[in-house]
Amino acid sequence: MKITFCGAAKKVTGSCYFIETSTINVVVDCGMHQGGKIGEEENFEPFPFDPTSVAALFITHAHLDHTGRIPKLVKDGFRGRIIATPPTVELAKLILEDSTRVLGHEALQHEHDPIYTEDDLKLTLPLFEEVDYHEKIQIDDNVTVEFFDAGHILGSACVRVTADGKSVVFSGDLGNPPVPLLKPTEIIKEADYVVMESTYGGRIHEDRENRRLLLRSAIYESVTMKGVLMIPAFAMERTQEILYELNDMVNNKDIPPVKIYLDSPLAIKATRVFQKFENYFNKATLHEIKSGDDVFNFPGLVMTESVDESKSINKAPNPKVIIAGSGMAQGGRILHHIERYITDRNSQYLIVGYQVNGSLGRKILDGDKVVKVKGNDLEVKAKVRAIGGYSAHADQPKLTTWISGFDKKQLKRVFITHGEEDQASALARHFNQSFEFDTIIPEFGETVDLD
């Protein structure tokens, strides 16, 4: 068995792993490369393998950096099976429909062909198949696959591929338990090799109670200053977690009355998917729901799905809280709110998720005094805050706990991916000091023979 690292090597985005076995070829994830905009030039490049040779594609979860190039794979000839958990299938379809629209808009704006089109998406969607956790799938006589709960977003999975007498686990993105809504990341014991993420490989998050206090503080301060609290949030998981927290705060009168706008059509649609798959929630959340609490709805929440509803937010008096996509401010409605409020000293910009290098969100996080939004230079006067504890990614201690669950006598090698160089290197150093297995940070395009 061989693995070629076709993305997320010494970077966070573009996850894609090509696996050659003695009988068939398969792929794990097929993500978008992200930076300044969704349509990065790297996404137009041919795949470093023949898409027509791939029998099956396994998706760890629905985020764009793991699914965003699937229609391009189909455009380039792939006609195999696309296998994922039921929530991932539904969420991936939503995010691919959204990305197709955004890519089309960017293509018109920059006068080039899109990476893929509606026609490519129409060919893609029927290829999806649903699989439950722990349901072993026989791809052929030689290759079996099993999914485990990664605890990252709804339906997220670690994927174990067994072929040629060897097994390799692909972590996907690992969760940051304990969190609202989801069950904790599942510990897996058996694997010869592991390919694992390192988004926060050198960091330690705030604990859950501290992150709640930071969110509460930001809301109180915005209300006191009669300003606007902007929260750029990923449509899937981060938004629903924050809604859950806000619902609890409102119910317990932990925050003053304030209008909270969910200004993201994709997040609103994704929230409906969450409501459909309650059986994936943890016991505490299920208990709340059964007791009659709608954890995604509360007094003061306004969902603005249409353009006209979104525009009406501008007329609403301050103070107010606006949750809008995209989470890294690469596009979406958050740009309109940044344009309007980032120059206001009484307002705040609260970052609750990872910001990739090159994104507008990263520039704001890094303290740039002036940022360019829709061609205009804007002075950043709003207070910028960041809460790492709301990250859906495991930090170094949780990554260590997860890798510690594997049988040390069986595990031969760990490949560190899905992290910027400093984070991947920090995790590799930590593992090398703590464990006896080999730890490698692969290069983009590198092929490794699993001996």
Report, as an integer, the average pLDDT of 281-294: 92
Confidence check: pLDDT of 360 > 60: yes
Each domain of the chain, given as residue ranges in start order, spans: 2-203+392-449, 208-390
Residue 203 CA to residue 99 CA, distance in Å, equals 31
CB 310 within 8 A of CB 333: yes
Residue 90 has pLDDT above 70, yes or no: yes
Segment 119-133, tens digit of pLDDT: 999 999 999 999 999
Residues 6+ apart with CB under 8 A from 309: none
Q: How many other CB atoms sit within 10 Å of the CB of residue 47? A: 20
Rg (CA), the chain: 21
pLDDT band at 363 (very low <50, low <70, confident <90, very high): very high
Percent of the residues in the chain that have a pLDDT greater than 90, as a whole number = 85
pLDDT digits (tens, 9 = 90+) for 404-444: 999 999 999 999 999 999 999 999 999 999 998 999 999 99
pLDDT band at 77 (very low <50, low <70, confident <90, very high): very high
- Residue whose pair of structure tokens reads 């969420």 in the numeric block: 91
Q: How confident is the model at residue 253 (pLDDT cuts 50, 70, 90)?
A: very high
Residue 351: is its pLDDT beyond 80? Answer: yes
**SS3 of 328-352:** CCCCCCHHHHHHHHCCCCCCEEEEC
- C-alpha to C-alpha distance for 393 and 420, rounded to whole angstroms: 14
Decide yes or no: CATH 3.40.50.10890 for domain 208-390: yes
Q: Is a pLDDT exceeding 90 seen at residue 447?
A: yes
Residue 259 pLDDT exceeds 70: yes
Residue 405: count of CB within 10 angstroms of its CB? 13
Which run of H or E residues covers position 413?
Answer: strand 413-417
Is the separation of the CB atoms in 49 and 8 below 8 Å?
A: no
**Mean pLDDT on 129-145:** 97
Q: What is the pLDDT of residues 371-407, one digit of tens each?
A: 999 889 999 999 999 987 777 899 999 999 999 999 9
User: What's the rounded mean pLDDT across residues 313-321?
Assistant: 97
**Residue 38, pLDDT score:** 52
CATH number listed for the domain at residues 2-203+392-449: 3.60.15.10
- What pLDDT does 109 receive? 83
pLDDT grade for 41, boundaries at 50, 70 and 90: confident
Q: How many other C-beta atoms can be found within 10 angstroms of the C-beta atom of residue 209? A: 9
pTM: 0.91
Q: 2-203+392-449 and 208-390: same fold?
A: no
Pairing outcome for strands 2-5 and 16-20: antiparallel
Each residue's pLDDT tens digit, 143-175 = 999 999 999 999 999 999 999 999 999 999 999
pLDDT at 87 over 60: yes
pLDDT at 236: 87
pLDDT for 211: 84
Please give the mean pLDDT across all residues of the chain.
94
